[in-house]
Amino acid sequence: MNVYMDHASTTPVDPRVVEKMMPYFMEKYGNPSSSLYEIGREARKAVEESRVKVASAINAAPGEIIFTSGGTEGDNLAIKGTALLDKDKKHIIISSIEHFSVLSTCDWLKKQGFEVTKVPVDRYGVVDLSELENAIRKDTALISVMHANNEIGTIEPIEEIGRIASDNGIIFHTNACQTAGRVPIDVRKMDIDLMTLSSHKIYGPKGAGAIFVRKGTRLEPLFHGGGHERKLRSGTENVPGIVGFGEALDLACREMRKEGERLTRLRDRLIRGILKIERSWLNGHPEKRLPNNAHFCFKFIEGESMILELDFNGISGGTGSACSSPTLEPSHVLSAIGLPKEDVHGSLRLTLGKQNTKEEVDYVIEVLPKIIERLRNISPFKEDFGEYESALAHEHKH
Amino acid sequence: MKVPWHTSISIDWSDWMYSDKLIEEFRNPKNMGKMENPDGVGKVGNPTCGDVMYLYIKVNDDRIVDIKFETFGCAAAIGTSSIITEMAKGLTLDEASKITKQDVADEVDGLPPIKMHCSVLAADALKLAIEDYRKKKGKKSDMKS
C-alpha cells in the first residue's frame, strides 16, 4: 500500500486545478501586460479573477493581493520589504518556531545591522504573549509570527498578536502557508498587515503564492523591473500558476468545513492508534492544532531510520531528527518546546490530506509499532539511556 | 532506435541516498544484539548526537571469534555497525584494529558525504573494544604474576 502522509511538505495538484490551468499554457498564453490585444487581455482577466478568489478567501480586497513565486518569496518580501523601508526602525520580533524562510531572512537582516528578538513558546508551541509584549521597543519595525507551525501543527493566537501589534503601531506579518484553505482566516478580524500564502500546500501548483498587503502598508520591493503587481513584484506574471493557485484556494475554502471535519476524525484516529506504542507522546497543542497534523516522539528511536523503514512499507512521513537534515541540526521547533536533543531524534510528523482514507490510517497504525519494535531491538537503549542517563539529566538541568 | 530523452541525464544519488548495500545491511543487520560476558566492549557516540554504538567482542587466541553490536542511530550508523562486525569476525586483533573508516565506507559501496562520520563511529567502536579487551587481559595477567 502506498500512503502519502507528508501534506505539510507538499500536496498533489487537484485535477480540477490542473484543468483550469491547462488553457494558459498553449492557447491563452498571452502576457497580461499586453492588454492591447485579445490574447493579452485573456491572460489579464485570468490573473485578476484569481486575485478576486484569493482576496475573498481571506476577507481582503483584490488590490491587497500581490502574487509571488510561493511562501519563501512571500516571507522574504514581507520581512525585508518592511525592514528596509524605515531607517530608524532596526528591531524585529519573531517567534522561536518560525519557518526557515523567516528565520534565515532575519539572520540576513542581522548582518545588515538589525536586531531580532525571538519570543519563546510554551511546551505546546504557543507563543508567550506577555514575552511578546515585553519585547516591543520604540524602534520595532515588525512582528512576524506564523499562523500555524509547520512541524507540530500548533495554531498561534494570531488575533491577539494582531491586536498587540496594532495597539503599538507595529506592522504584523504572519506566515499562513499551513493554514490558508485549512482553517478560516479573516485578515480584518485578525488585524493582519502582511500575510504569506502558498499554493502547493493546498493542492495547487508549485512556484505560486501571494502575499496580502493591507491597504496603506508600504513595502520595499525585492525585484525591480517592469513594475508588475503594484510595483511590489516585477516580472511577468506566472499566469498558469496564478490561475491554479486561485482555483486551489477557492476549492479549499469551499470544502474546508467538510474536509476539516473528516481530517480531524482521521487525525484523532491516527493519534489514538499511534499513542498505544509504549514510550510515545504527541507534540504540539492537543486541541489548537491543524486538522491534518499529527506529530509524535518515540523514545530510543532515531527518526531517519524510522522514515526509511516507513518508506520500505510505502508510507511517506517526516522527522525533525538531525540525521535527516542537511545541516545535521535537530529541529529548532522541537528544541523550542523544550524537548531534549535525544528525544528530538525520535520525532515523526504525519500530515494528512484529501486522498488519505481510514484504511490508510489503520495501515500506518498496524505497521509503525513493528518498526519501532525492530529499531528498539537494534538499539542498546530499551528502558532508559543506560549509562548516559545521569549525564543527560545533568545536561537538561542547564 | 528511439532513445528516451531522460537517458542522457545521470544523477549521482550517492550525494543524497544510500547504496543498495547499505540499505541491505540496515534492513537485515548481521550479528545484532547484546553479548553476554564479552571479552571487550567498545562504546561510542552520544544520545544527544543521535548515534550510539555498542560493539562486543569475544576473543580466543588473539582472534575475534564472535562479535555483536547494538546501535541507536540512523540507517548509516546501523548499516556500518553491521558491516564492521562482518569485516572483523575471524580476524586477529592486530588485523582488526587496522580497519579504517574508509574501509568501512568502501565495504558498503560508499556513504553520502554527510554520513561519513557514521563510518568513523564503527571503526572507533571496534578499536575501543580491542583496547578494552587488552586492558582487561593485562589486568588479569598482572593479577596472576
What's the CA gap between A70 and A205, in Å, rounded?
Answer: 10
What's the CA gap between A379 and B69, in Å, rounded?
Answer: 9
Could you tell me the three cell numbers for A186?
479573516
- High-pLDDT (> 90) share of chain A, %: 90
- The segment with the largest mean pLDDT, out of A70-84, B34-48, B115-129, is A70-84
Asked if the C-beta of A203 comes within 8 angstroms of chain B's C-beta atoms, the answer is: no
CA distance A372 to chain B (A): 12
Q: Which residues of A are the active-site residues?
A: 323
Whether A347 and A363 map to the same domain: the answer is: yes
Residue A174's H or E segment, with its range, is strand A171-175
Whether A292 and A353 map to the same domain: the answer is: yes
**For the domain that residue B33 is a member of, what is the CATH number?**
3.90.1010.10
A194, A222, A254 — which closes off a domain?
Answer: A254
Asked if the C-beta of A340 comes within 8 angstroms of chain B's C-beta atoms, the answer is: yes
- Cβ contacts of residue A388 below 8 Å, gap of 6+? B46, B47, B52
Whether A112 and A174 map to the same domain: the answer is: yes
Facing B29 at nearest CB: one of A321, A378, A392: A378
A254, A280, A304 — which closes off a domain?
Answer: A254
Q: What secondary structure does DSSP assign to B112-136, as a single string?
A: -GGGHHHHHHHHHHHHHHHHHHHHH
| Max CA distance (Å), chain A | 76
What's the CA gap between B128 and A379, in Å, rounded?
Answer: 19
B142 or A91, higher pLDDT: A91
Whether A180 and A123 map to the same domain: the answer is: yes
Give just the sign of the alpha carbon dihedral A339, A342, A345, A347: negative
Q: Are B80 and B58 in contact (CB under 8 A)?
A: no
For residues B58-84, give the mean pLDDT: 96
For residues A345-360, give the mean pLDDT: 96
Q: Are A203 and A231 in contact (CB under 8 A)?
A: no
Whether A307 and A235 map to the same domain: the answer is: no
Residues in A 1-30 with any Cβ partner in B closer than 8 A: none
Whether A96 and A138 map to the same domain: the answer is: yes
Whether A22 and A149 map to the same domain: the answer is: yes
Whether A241 and A292 map to the same domain: the answer is: no
Facing B47 at nearest CB: one of A305, A324, A385: A385
Q: Which residues of B touch A322 (CB under 8 A)?
A: 49-50
What's the CA gap between B42 and A196, in Å, rounded?
Answer: 51
A196, A226, A254 — which closes off a domain?
Answer: A254
Angle of helix A256-274 relative to helix A358-378, nearest 10 degrees, comes to 30
Is there a domain that residue B145 lies in? no
CA distance B3 to chain A (A): 26
What is the pLDDT confidence band of residue A321, given thresholds at 50, 70 and 90?
A: confident
What's the CA gap between A17 and A23, in Å, rounded?
Answer: 11
Is there a domain that residue B97 lies in? yes
A326 and B77 within 8 Å at the Cβ level: the answer is no
- A76 Ramachandran zone, left/alpha/beta (phi>0; psi -120 to 50): alpha
Q: Are A223 and A67 in contact (CB under 8 A)?
A: no
A185 or A393, higher pLDDT: A185
Is there a domain that residue B144 lies in? no
B50 and A340 within 8 Å at the Cβ level: the answer is no
Whether A204 and A306 map to the same domain: the answer is: no
Distances from the Cα of A86 to the Cαs of A82, A135, A139, A140, A164, in angstroms?
A: 8, 19, 10, 10, 20
Instruction: Kindly tell me if the per-residue pLDDT of B53 is higher than 90.
Output: yes
Is there a domain that residue B59 lies in? yes
What is the pLDDT confidence band of residue A6, given thresholds at 50, 70 and 90?
A: very high
3-state secondary structure of A170: coil
Instruction: Look at residue B140 in the predicted model and tell me its pLDDT.
Output: 74
**For the domain that residue A180 is a member of, what is the CATH number?**
3.40.640.10
Quote the number of domains for chain A: 2
Distances from the Cα of A171 to the Cαs of A57, A134, A215, in angstroms?
A: 22, 16, 12
Could you tell me the three cell numbers for A124?
505546546
Give the residue from B72, B118, B121 with the most A CB atoms within 10 Å of its CB, the best one to mutate. B72
Is there a domain that residue B6 lies in? no
Instruction: Look at residue B142 in the predicted model and tell me its pLDDT.
Output: 66
Q: Which residues of B are the active-site residues?
A: 49, 118
Q: Are A314 and A3 in contact (CB under 8 A)?
A: yes
Whether A221 and A269 map to the same domain: the answer is: no
**For the domain that residue A291 is a member of, what is the CATH number?**
3.90.1150.10
Quote the number of domains for chain B: 1
Is there a domain that residue B142 lies in? no
Instruction: Kindly tell me if the per-residue pLDDT of A80 is higher than 90.
Output: yes
Q: Which residues of B touch A378 (CB under 8 A)?
A: 29, 32, 70-72, 78
Whether A133 and A213 map to the same domain: the answer is: yes
Q: Which residues of A touch B55 (CB under 8 A)?
A: none
Instruction: Look at residue B7 in the predicted model and tell me its pLDDT.
Output: 56
Whether A106 and A181 map to the same domain: the answer is: yes
What is the pLDDT confidence band of residue B116, given thresholds at 50, 70 and 90?
A: confident
What's the CA gap between A287 and A308, in Å, rounded?
Answer: 30
Q: Which residues of A touch B49 (CB under 8 A)?
A: 322, 341
Instruction: Look at residue B3 in the predicted model and tell me its pLDDT.
Output: 52
Q: Which residues of A touch B52 (CB under 8 A)?
A: 379-381, 388
- Single-letter amino acid code for the residue at B51: D
Residue pairs spanning A and B at CB distance below 8 A: 71
A312 and B46 within 8 Å at the Cβ level: the answer is no
Print the domain residue range for B112: 19-137
A380 and B74 within 8 Å at the Cβ level: the answer is no
Q: Which residues of B touch A297 (CB under 8 A)?
A: none
Print the domain residue range for A279: 3-8+256-397
Facing B50 at nearest CB: one of A322, A380, A388: A322
Instruction: Look at residue A394 in the predicted model and tell me its pLDDT.
Output: 73
Is there a domain that residue B9 lies in? no
Is there a domain that residue B1 lies in? no
Give the helix ranges, DSSP H, for B4-90: 20-27, 75-88
A378 and B50 within 8 Å at the Cβ level: the answer is no
User: What are the backbone dihedrals phi and psi of residue A187, each rounded to the nearest 5 degrees, phi first?
Assistant: -65, -25
What's the CA gap between A184 and A290, in Å, rounded?
Answer: 11
What is the overall mean pLDDT for chain A?
Answer: 95
